[in-house]
Amino acid sequence: MARALDTLKPRLYQAALNESFRSELELARAAWRPDAEDWADFVDMLAISWVDATGFTILERELGGISTAEQRRWHLRQRSGIFLVDAIEQGAVEVRDVETEESLMLDLAEPLSKGNLIRGRLIEEVAGTWTVTGQPDLFESVSVIQRMDLLHAWLDGPRHELLSAQNALRRAFLDQREQRMAFLEFFGTDMVLFESTEVAARQIDGFYQHLLSRFRPPSLAGETYLEEYLAAGTKGPTEHRLELDQMLGQCSSIAVIYDQTEGLHFLPDFKYFKDTVEGVLEPGEIVKDYLSDPGVTGLPFRRTQCLAYLRSHLDLPSAGLDEILALHKPQPSRCSPSLLPGPGQ
């Protein structure tokens, strides 16, 4: 069977080894610990599975985003472990995940025999059929005890933990980008300022209802999140409400930003902050609060005309915004996904 992903791999590998990706490569190498024999498998993992500091895989960047069910399958339907060849019939290979006992249909380019073991990574490129990616380790028939020893060594090793974390990150960041689409659809912009906490609570809850019951994400092929949840046969409440944190309820204004990279942010007293840094109001403690609060990133500073204020009040007359933020508000080295709860969560 022609593998569409295989046609992309040369470009993905080239991007993974590009000098601009060097810091990610070094970070991944420290976690993966590849040697000369499995370097090719490491590069394949880096190109397809690794989530970079801003929440993207090289595969997703190469595709220009995830917009089809097939692309989402590549992005999310990845698994790793020890797989036992149970049956081979007319070219179809049935394998069993040794950890979970789940049976899978596998499309293999090379012939194997019943009882062989595969240790490596799989991708569900076509619905219901998996394919091997990278350079897996192959073993001849072994005893049950040896098989379980291989499994335990895998589960206790650093690669299992790393791949599990990357699986969770890929899904969370992809869901975050879909939720942002719903935010833009509902508000028409990615930043909304509310001067009344009552209006903010009402509008944000309205967005939440839109996200669950009216927004139709590309990943669900025309269904809403709630329809997909109920179609799975899960019985649960159909009414969902989102309430603002009590601390936000005490604010004079709230800005809600759903940033492309940093995700969803609720910024208290944002109008006061904006008017202060843009010279509408006299200097106040709000800027110090924003700079010192670990829960506030550099995002509000980038969304306001604050450079002149910061240069003056921090005695950095020629510094750029990035330089000032690096000195007074260092950013986390990697983005964390921010998500609203879905049905049943």
The 3 state secondary structure assigned to the chain is CCCHHHHHHHHHHHHHCCHHHHHHHHHHHHHHCCCHHHHHHHHHHHHHCCCCCCCCCHHHHHHCCCCCHHHHHHHHCEEEEEEEEEEEECCEEEEEECCCCCEEEEECCCCCCCCCEEEEEEEEEECCEEEEEEEEEEECCCCHHHHHHHHHHHHHCHHHHHHHHHHHHHHHHHHHHHHHHHHHHHHCCCEEEECCHHHHHHHHHHHHHHHHHCCCCHHHCCCCHHHHHHHCCCCCCCCCCCCCCHHHHCCCCEEEEEECCCEEEEEECHHHHHHHHCCCCCCCHHHHHHHHCCCCCCHHHHCCCCHHHHHHHCCCCCCCHHHHHHHHCCCCCCCCCCCCCCCCC
| For residues 96-105, average pLDDT | 95
Residue 249, pLDDT above cutoff 80: no
| For residues 205-211, average pLDDT | 94
pLDDT of residue 3: 60
Q: Sorting pLDDT into bands at 50, 70 and 90, what band is 48? A: very high
Count of beta carbons in the 10 Å neighbourhood of residue 21: 18
| For residues 230-238, average pLDDT | 71
* 79-142 placed in CATH 2.40.50.140: yes
> What's the rounded Cα separation, in Å, for the pair 103 and 95?
6
pLDDT of residue 2: 39
Answer with the residue of higher pLDDT: 284 or 277.
277
pLDDT of residue 5: 84
pLDDT of residue 245: 73
- Order of strands across the sheet that contains 263-268: 191-194, 254-259, 263-268
Residue 139, pLDDT above cutoff 60: yes
Residue 334, pLDDT above cutoff 70: yes
Amino acid in position 91: G
Residue 268, pLDDT above cutoff 70: yes
pLDDT of residue 234: 67
Count of beta carbons in the 10 Å neighbourhood of residue 292: 11
Q: How confident is the model over 5-21, as pLDDT tens digits?
A: 888 999 999 999 999 99
| Cβ(311)–Cβ(323) below 8 Å | no
pLDDT of residue 1: 39
Name the pTM for this structure: 0.89
Q: What's the N-to-C CA distance of the chain in angstroms?
A: 39
% of the chain at pLDDT higher than 90: 68
Rg (CA), the chain: 24
| For residues 281-298, average pLDDT | 92
Least confident of 202-206, 222-226, 232-236, 295-299: 232-236
pLDDT of residue 112: 85
Q: How confident is the model over 299-309, as pLDDT tens digits?
A: 999 999 999 99
| For residues 203-227, average pLDDT | 90
| For residues 286-304, average pLDDT | 94
| Cβ(249)–Cβ(243) below 8 Å | no
Q: What is the overall mean pLDDT for the chain?
A: 90
Domain extents in the chain: 79-142, 186-328
Answer with the residue of higher pLDDT: 125 or 75.
75
| Cβ(124)–Cβ(110) below 8 Å | no
Answer with the residue of higher pLDDT: 74 or 310.
310
